[in-house]
Structure 1
């Protein structure tokens, strides 16, 4: 059976990964210099897994396309670990509206990445910062400030002055991954290095630690990608 897939290349990507989107499309995320032969080999190797995912009756429901809405080249964007379609809409609203999909005013079509980025930053402040305070209370630690920043190199950081910084791109990841990064940085207020005691603290607060680390390892590059 023929297996169709889209190749998305990026100079920032370091390894090949395959994802099955909510509309059942298969996307291969590849470094810019990987030959198509290597991509075909990976797809062939994952063929059984892909067909299993594609025929999952609940996870990948077809996405209806309402009349009068225009897709932006079939683009989609991540939010809290899931991929949602982008649509251009008419109207006077000047901001993005999220309703199981990203509804972007048609006037912002060319600047959709900029307006989507601002939307991400606002959602990061709204959802991540309260969880920092909640986990800090659970761990019994105090911090000076928690901020959302634009780091290209770290998901989170803890400064010598006990300030915590979190990359806004984390809002694209599942909540259990966000919680892992938060707890990781808060644990540094107890244990400065990555000694066994440090990891015991993180694991005790977040039993899904290994699963979150695996998710970041496999999908971290996707969080860095622009639409």
Structure 2
């Protein structure tokens, strides 16, 4: 069976790695001087693993929710792993407030996705980025920069330049899941590939690793849903 993939080369990268994105695309990250033949060799070696990833039903099925539904009182939105009720309020000036529920001004209903997204992004910067520093200290590693981004296909990433990026949608997940994604990306600063050593590093830093992976497998699509 034919397997298509994209090669992304970088002068900063030292090792060949393969990732399967959530849109089913296969990406090979390669040092600039690695030949196409060496890339093909790695893809052939990982072919069985790649097909298993590509056939993962839950992770890659289309989202079930219909787009553009009306926002009404009583709907719920996720935050740190829990669903909180949405209440529309007569407040023409302020933005979204959170007080055990989401208080959204009626004037923002038409822009609900944008304003709620911005609220999530702000909370992600506020809560996730400090934990990156804390977990990095625990692992004894240093990174260049950590940012919150809008990646559609990855929860987190670690670049060859030791920059870390985290999907803002993670703020909807429980904190132990957020910590897992953080530690996962930080561990790549020690071990680039998903080797047994890599997983031992993650598990040693985060005892809830398996529980977090299970949670993402079962609930990852909920993080991607709009309100």
Secondary structure at the aligned position of 1:85 is classed as strand
5+ residue gaps, structure 2, are 1-56, 66-70
Secondary structure at the aligned position of 2:91 is classed as coil
Aligned to 1:206: 206
8 Å CA contact 1:15–1:31 kept in 2: the answer is: no
Secondary structure at the aligned position of 1:169 is classed as helix
Aligned to 1:180: 180
Q: CA deviation at 1:109?
A: 1.2
Choose between structure 1 and 2 for higher RCO, CA contacts under 8 A separated by at least 6 residues: 2
Q: CA deviation at 1:111?
A: 1.2
User: What is the TM-score normalised by the length of structure 1?
Assistant: 0.69
Aligned to 1:223: 223
The equivalences for 1:77-88 within 5 A come to: 77-88=77-88
8 Å CA contact 1:124–1:168 kept in 2: the answer is: yes
Distance 2:96 2:64 in 1: 30
Q: CA deviation at 1:74?
A: 3.0
5+ residue gaps, structure 1, are 1-13, 17-28, 33-70
Secondary structure at the aligned position of 2:166 is classed as strand
The equivalences for 1:60-209 within 5 A come to: 72=72, 74-209=74-209
Distance 1:97 1:156 in 2: 27
Q: CA deviation at 1:88?
A: 0.7
Q: CA deviation at 1:31?
A: 4.0
Distance 2:178 2:72 in 1: 28
Distance 2:197 2:114 in 1: 41
User: What is the TM-score normalised by the length of structure 2?
Assistant: 0.69
Distance 2:126 2:173 in 1: 15
The equivalences for 1:34-49 within 5 A come to: none
Distance 2:63 2:142 in 1: 41
Task: Number of aligned residue pairs: give it.
Answer: 164
